């Protein structure tokens, strides 16, 4: 397993979470200043310097339970709050979307382009807030410095590590089921046609060589698919065209991928409305329900399978300043406790992090 996988997992899942929350803030006509505050506060917490310093150290992945708790804290880093069932649904959508992106990557190295698509979108969310933008830019530079020198073999190991992490997660998503890219058992159906990886040829030709390296024979065969060549490679710089569309925001793009329209319809059905509380405070919180009614949310919590339950505590979000202070403390303490890169098992370290967070 690769010890360099955690930052990519965290950033891509975080990007998917931000896409979903941004779409719901827009759809429910939350005032622009409140919506901006929510996005800025979550991104500020997500790119906390001390936390990212620890995150970028070579180490095993944290346990699923610990990683889920980190995203619970991120989702509640501002004036927004979710009940556990709604957080479950949000996390399910995040994880299954990124799992599908990893499976669809033509090359293992393209996982980095998927990450850059998420980073590009995150930068756009905070483009009018220089202090937050500088945090995101610094993380971008770290990603480029750490990952662009890696070999194809090292990226393949990262991809394998991600797939091992996701292998037992077969949560059915209605849009994937409708488009027949997911079976009723929650497993994805991979295409046998489409663009081939950059730098490779369309299948259909076998070339044979002599001991001297000279081509001596060619055989053609039917490849059984409808393949196309990729004319150019995506940019691995901070600014540039990524070419690959995996990891872009399929909820609001002007030229969305084929799943976008149905995904919006699915979100409208699942997420329901946002309830804005009205205690006279300008920073009062609001509740996001990912289900059409409170009754559906309660039913989902009761009926959720045990293997997908993380026993995460309920969080009552307060003013964004207080929430950010708590999260900064968590992340700071985590850095102090962690010390050197992890030498014990990922589950042990993840459970330590979970215990620290549950102690609030």
Q: At residue 344, does pLDDT exceed 50?
A: no
Residue bearing the bigger pLDDT, 81 or 322: 81
| CB-based contact 105:8 (threshold 8 Å) | no
Confidence band of 348 (pLDDT split at 50, 70, 90): low
Mean pLDDT of 326-353: 45
CB 61 within 8 A of CB 6: yes
Using an 8 Å Cβ cutoff, are 171 and 89 in contact? no
Residue-level pLDDT at 27: 78
Please, which pLDDT band fits residue 275 given cuts at 50, 70 and 90? very low
Cα distance between the two ends of the chain: 32
- The string of pLDDT tens digits covering residues 80-116 is 888 888 888 889 999 999 999 999 999 999 999 999 9
The residue among 22, 18, 88, 44 whose CA lies nearest residue 247 is: 18
Q: Report in angstroms the alpha-carbon separations of 167 from 153, 173, 258, 298, 312.
A: 21, 16, 25, 28, 22
Compute the radius of gyration of the chain from its Cα atoms.
Answer: 22
Average pLDDT score over the chain: 78
Residue owning tokens 């990893």:
102
The model's pLDDT over 294-312, given as tens digits with 9 standing for 90+, comes to 556 566 566 666 656 554 4
Residue 108's pLDDT is: 95
Distance, in Å, from the CA atom of 65 to the CA atom of 81, rounded to the nearest integer, reads: 20
What is the pTM assigned to this prediction? 0.75
Residue 51 to residues 39, 71, 134, 135, 155, Cα–Cα distance (Å):
18, 13, 16, 12, 24
76-81 mean pLDDT = 84
Tell me the C-alpha distance between 163 and 166, whole Å: 5
- Give the pLDDT of residue 149: 96
- Give the mean model confidence (pLDDT) for residues 334-340: 41
- At 179, is the pLDDT very low, low, confident or very high (cuts 50, 70, 90)? confident
């Amino acid at each position: 397993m690769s010890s360099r996988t955690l930052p990519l997992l965290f950033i891509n899942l975080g990007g998917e979470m931000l896409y979903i929350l941004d779409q719901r803030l827009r759809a429910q006509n939350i005032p622009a200043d409140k919506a901006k505050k929510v996005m800025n506060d979550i991104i500020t917490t997500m790119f906390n310097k001390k936390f990212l310093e620890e995150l970028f150290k070579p180490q095993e992945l944290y346990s699923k339970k610990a990683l889920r708790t980190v995203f619970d804290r991120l989702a509640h880093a501002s004036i927004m709050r979710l009940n556990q069932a709604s957080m479950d649904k949000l996390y399910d959508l995040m994880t299954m979307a990124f799992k599908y992106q990893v499976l669809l990557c033509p090359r293992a190295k393209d996982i980095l382009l998927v990450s850059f698509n998420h980073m590009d979108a995150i930068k756009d969310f905070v483009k009018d807030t220089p202090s937050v933008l500088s945090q995101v830019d610094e993380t971008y530079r770290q990603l480029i410095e750490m990952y662009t020198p890696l070999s194809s073999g090292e990226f393949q190991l990262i991809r394998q590590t991600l797939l091992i992490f996701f292998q037992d997660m077969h949560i059915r998503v209605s849009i994937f089921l409708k488009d027949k890219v997911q079976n009723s058992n929650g497993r994805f159906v991979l295409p046998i046609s489409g663009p081939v990886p950059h730098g490779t040829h369309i299948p259909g030709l076998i070339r044979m060589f002599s001991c001297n390296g000279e081509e001596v024979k060619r055989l053609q065969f039917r490849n059984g698919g409808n393949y196309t060549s990729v004319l150019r490679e995506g940019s691995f710089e901070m600014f540039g065209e990524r070419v690959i569309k995996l990891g872009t925001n399929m909820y609001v793009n002007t030229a969305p991928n084929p799943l976008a329209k149905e995904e919006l319809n699915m979100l409208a059905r699942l997420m329901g409305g946002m309830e804005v509380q009205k205690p006279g405070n300008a920073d009062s919180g609001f509740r996001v329900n990912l289900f059409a009614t409170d009754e559906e949310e309660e039913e989902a919590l009761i009926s959720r399978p045990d293997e997908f339950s993380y026993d995460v505590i309920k969080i009552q979000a307060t003013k964004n300043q207080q929430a950010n202070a708590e999260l900064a403390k968590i992340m700071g303490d985590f850095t102090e406790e962690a010390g050197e890169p992890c030498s014990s098992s990922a589950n042990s370290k993840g459970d330590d992090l979970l215990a620290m967070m549950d102690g609030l």
